[in-house]
Amino acid sequence: MKTRSYLIALVSAAFVVGCGDTGQTNTAVNTNQNAAVPAATAPATPPDELAEGRKIFKQNCAICHKEDGTGGKVTIEGKSLNADDLTSAKIKAFSDDKIIGYVYNGVEDEGMPSFKDKLSEAQIREVVRYVRAGIQKMPEPAATGSPK
């Protein structure tokens, strides 16, 4: 019985010493070489900022201007057209507002239909943004204004 009491006292003392707050940080080192290492998180895929414009272009513009924007001779509804090459220096020199105007109002003499009743102004702007960055490979203009 005396040995049992002695053993209980020893275990209790070890417990108190081991769990006592000494004000020091206990840093354990894991020496287990087989421990699972968390996998590195892959960086998030950046959103495709031109996706909406690309989609609208393919649905409405590619029939005449081709998916790559090079245009050329095409027959639509029995009408022969010579769609502008959107990658040409001439079109690249146009302002965004001028292109938006052509898409919005059309160019009747050249067979370009008006899209004002089919696309919103925001959608037309997305198409122009896609043409500039995705087809013409022009850099997007830097944001203006002072940083906040």
pLDDT over 60 (residue 88): yes
pLDDT over 60 (residue 118): yes
Percent of the chain with pLDDT over 70: 66
Contact 96, 132 (CB under 8 A): yes
- Tell me: the pLDDT tens digits for 14-24? 444 455 555 55
> Residue 101, Cβ neighbours under 10 Å: how many?
14
Tokens 């043409």 sit at which residue?
131
- Tell me: the pLDDT tens digits for 26-38? 555 555 565 565 6
pLDDT over 70 (residue 89): yes
Angstrom distance (rounded) from CA 75 to CA 82: 9
Token output for 18? 């081991």
Angstrom distance (rounded) from CA 15 to CA 118: 79
Token output for 86? 């959107």
DSSP symbols for 52-67: HHHHHHHHHTHHHH-T
Closest-CA residue to 102 (of 72, 68, 47, 65): 65
In angstroms, how far is CA 97 from the centroid of its own chain? 25
pLDDT over 70 (residue 7): no
Task: Read off the amino acid at residue 5.
Answer: S
pTM of the model: 0.65
- The lowest-confidence range among 6-15, 43-52, 85-94 is 6-15
pLDDT over 90 (residue 106): yes
Question: What is the predicted pLDDT for the residue at 148?
Answer: 47
